[in-house]
């Protein structure tokens, strides 16, 4: 095994796919440790030594340091390889919108998904599951609509170059309330996401990882 490799704890249909997409575009080899943490206790146990939050994506860097938090991982990988232009540089005025929306997707949208596997996590009874999930999905649709109203995309979300923000939105918009509602709430974002889905460098990844 090549020790200078990334190890990624991830799963199909999860936020790790955005990281997998970034690693793919950057041509960085990685070992994937697969496990659906939201559904399988064994997967949670497997990632726990690296990430006590028992969540994915969890990335072990070639030097052994662990990174968690999808937005942080994506920003880090993009900044590490500036020539690939997957993030605006800190001197670029688009950097502000980049950071704003990266953190927004992470905190306003992705974080809400933690509630769904077990609504007792927020103190709701199991019998309220359907209503809670519905409320979470309504909130997520509202957040996508709010982002849509404040962003004027070019070919991609921040202009004419694809960034890790595009990969992030293309991934998180596949979670509940799923793509159809995403497209209704955020038609401008949806048009960009379609372009990201169609990127020939990523087509195989999207097909395999969101079957
Ligand atoms: N803040 C974390 C959230 C990660 C997250 O929620 N991951 C989900 C999978 S998509 C997970 O591992 N869930 C496990 C659980 O619900 O216990 C991030 O942005 O990376």
Domain(s) of CATH 1.20.1050.10: residues in the chain? 94-205
Is 110 touching ligand 1 by the criterion CB < 6 Å? Answer: yes
Give this prediction's pTM. 0.98
Digits of tens for pLDDT over the chain (211 positions)? 444 699 999 999 999 999 999 999 999 999 999 999 999 999 999 999 999 999 999 999 999 999 999 999 999 999 999 999 999 999 999 999 999 999 999 999 999 999 999 999 999 999 999 999 999 999 999 999 999 999 999 999 999 999 999 999 999 999 999 999 999 999 999 999 999 999 999 999 999 999 9
Q: How far is the CA of 116 from the centre of ligand 1 (A)?
A: 11
Is 114 touching ligand 1 by the criterion CB < 6 Å? Answer: yes
Domain(s) of CATH 3.40.30.10: residues in the chain? 6-84
What is the dihedral sign for C-alpha 184, 38, 68, 4?
Answer: negative
Instruction: Indicate the helix (H) or strand (E) that contains 68.
Output: strand 66-68
Fold adopted by 6-84: Glutaredoxin (3.40.30)
Is 58 touching ligand 1 by the criterion CB < 6 Å? Answer: no
**Residue in 5, 41, 45 with CA at minimum distance from that of residue 26:** 5
Look up the CATH number of domain 94-205. 1.20.1050.10
Best mutation site among 51, 101, 114 for ligand 1 pocket (most ligand atoms within 8 Å of CB) = 114
Integer Cα distance of 11 and 113 in angstroms: 15
């Amino acid at each position: 095994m090549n020790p200078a490799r990334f190890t990624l704890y991830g799963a199909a249909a999860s936020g790790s796919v955005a990281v997998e997409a970034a690693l793919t575009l950057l041509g960085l080899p990685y070992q994937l440790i697969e496990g659906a943490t939201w559904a399988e206790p064994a997967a949670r146990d497997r990632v726990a030594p690296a990430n006590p939050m028992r969540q994915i994506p969890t990335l072990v860097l070639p030097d052994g340091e662990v990174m968690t938090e999808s937005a942080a991982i994506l920003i880090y990988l993009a900044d590490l390889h500036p020539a690939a232009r997957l993030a605006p540089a800190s001197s670029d005025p688009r950097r502000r919108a980049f950071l704003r929306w990266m953190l927004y997707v992470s905190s306003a949208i992705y974080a809400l998904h933690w509630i769904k596997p077990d609504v007792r996590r927020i103190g709701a009874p199991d019998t309220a599951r359907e209503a809670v999930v519905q409320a979470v999905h309504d909130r997520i649709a509202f957040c996508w609509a709010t982002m849509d109203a404040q962003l004027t995309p070019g070919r991609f979300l921040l202009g004419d170059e694809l960034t890790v923000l595009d990969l992030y939105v293309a991934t998180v918009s596949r979670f509940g309330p799923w793509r159809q509602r995403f497209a209704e709430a955020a038609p401008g974002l949806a048009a960009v996401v379609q372009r990201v889905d169609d990127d020939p460098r990523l087509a195989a990844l999207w097909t395999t990882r969101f079957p």
